[in-house]
Amino acid sequence: AQSVTQPDIHITVSEGASLELRCNYSYGATPYLFWYVQSPGQGLQLLLKYFSGDTLVQGIKGFEAEFKRSQSSFNLRKPSVHWSDAAEYFCAVGFVYNFNKFYFGSGTKLNVKP
Amino acid sequence: NAGVTQTPKFQVLKTGQSMTLQCAQDMNHEYMSWYRQDPGMGLRLIHYSVGAGITDQGEVPNGYNVSRSTTEDFPLRLLSAAPSQTSVYFCASSYGWQAMNTGELFFGEGSRLTVL
């Protein structure tokens, strides 16, 4: 079945530590890939996206993500986490000529310890 | 900038009642959609629209109706509310459904619905 998988439901990191959130997808074609962040009580905001080209993409708030075709992964990273990064993070996929449908992972909640 | 505006933010219904969640965007977006967010399940697409007068079903359309009479508005109607429809609902819009370099969804702040 086609899916977007975020294997970590909760992650806790200390402020200043590095972060990696995992995302894997299983679709026949390479989709367009996105990471969104949801702060408590808010809607989702786009962090970054990958369509083609350089497999390492930079986003807002110091985040980056790397697309690995061989692993069907699009992991989100940040070198040094800030307390304000505590939120829920969603990986999503979309398809060429079919942006009608975005498929979201189940989300990873990030806790940041002082 | 208003962006995507959803009303109401909170609503409590009794089983069998009907209601409409409103969504309006002021960015002239062609594409609008409704998602529901449930714990551990991410966001699931209910209905979407690629322009005024055009709507289609998403993953979980049962129990919901939509219409798109204007570019700006995309209301979601619950015909006969059920406890299984207790959720947080998000409206999202995008510039163009076939554009190669967009794909970004702009979200409203959500509407929390409880059905007793």
| Residue whose C-alpha is closest to residue B116's, from B77, B70, B85, B78 | B85
Closest by Cβ to A49, choosing from B40, B44, B104: B104
C-alpha B107/C-alpha B34 separation (Å) is: 10
Residue B103 predicted with pLDDT over 80: no
3-state secondary structure of A83: helix
Question: How would DSSP label each residue in B13-64?
Answer: E-TT--EEEEEEESS--SEEEEEEEETTTEEEEEEEEEETTEEEE-S--TTE
Cβ contact (<8 Å) for A101 and B48? yes
**A41 contacts in chain B (CB < 8 Å):** 109-110
Average pLDDT over residues A39-65: 91
Distance from C-alpha of B89 to C-alpha of B75, rounded to nearest angstrom: 12
Distance CA A63, CA A48 (A): 8
pLDDT tens digits along A54-80:
899 999 999 999 999 999 999 999 999
CB atoms A107 and B42 under 8 Å: yes
Any chain B CB within 8 A of the CB of A97? yes
Whether residues A51 and B100 touch (CB distance < 8 A) is answered with yes
Q: Is the pLDDT of residue A96 over 70?
A: no
Residue to mutate among A3, A21, A44, A95, with most B CBs inside 10 A, is A44
Average pLDDT rounded to a whole number, residues B72-85:
97
Inter-chain residue contact B43 with A44, CB threshold 8 Å: yes
For A12-26, B40-54, B64-78, which range has the lowest pLDDT when averaged over its residues?
B40-54
Q: Report residue A10's pLDDT band, with 50, 70 and 90 as the boundaries.
A: very high
CB-CB neighbours of A42 under 10 Å: 14
Helix (H, G, I), strand (E, B) or coil at A71: helix
Chain A residue whose CA is closest to B98? A97
Q: What is the DSSP letter of B95?
A: S
How many whole angstroms separate alpha carbon B63 and alpha carbon B82?
A: 9
From the number of C-beta atoms within 10 Å of its C-beta (0-12, 13-18, 19+), residue A63 rates as: buried
> pLDDT at residue B99 above 50?
no
Q: Return the pLDDT at B84.
A: 96
Does A95 contact chain B (CB < 8 Å)? no
State how far the Cα of B105 lies from the Cα of A38, in Å rounded to an integer.
13
Please tell me which of A74-88, B38-52, B96-110 the model is most confident about, judged by mean pLDDT.
A74-88
Residue with tokens 């310890």: A113
| B contacts of A104 (beta carbons < 8 Å) | 35, 42-44
pLDDT at A99 over 70: no
List, in order, residues 6 or more apart from A2 with CB less than 8 Å away: A26, A27, A28, A103
What is the average per-residue pLDDT within B86-105? 76
Please write the tens of the pLDDT for every residue from B4-50. Answer: 999 999 999 999 999 999 999 999 888 899 999 998 888 999 999 98
Question: What was the pLDDT predicted at A9?
Answer: 93
Please give the mean pLDDT across all residues of chain A. Answer: 90
Mean pLDDT of all residues in chain B? 90
Region for B51 from its dihedrals, namely left if φ exceeds 0, alpha if ψ lies in -120 to 50, beta otherwise = left
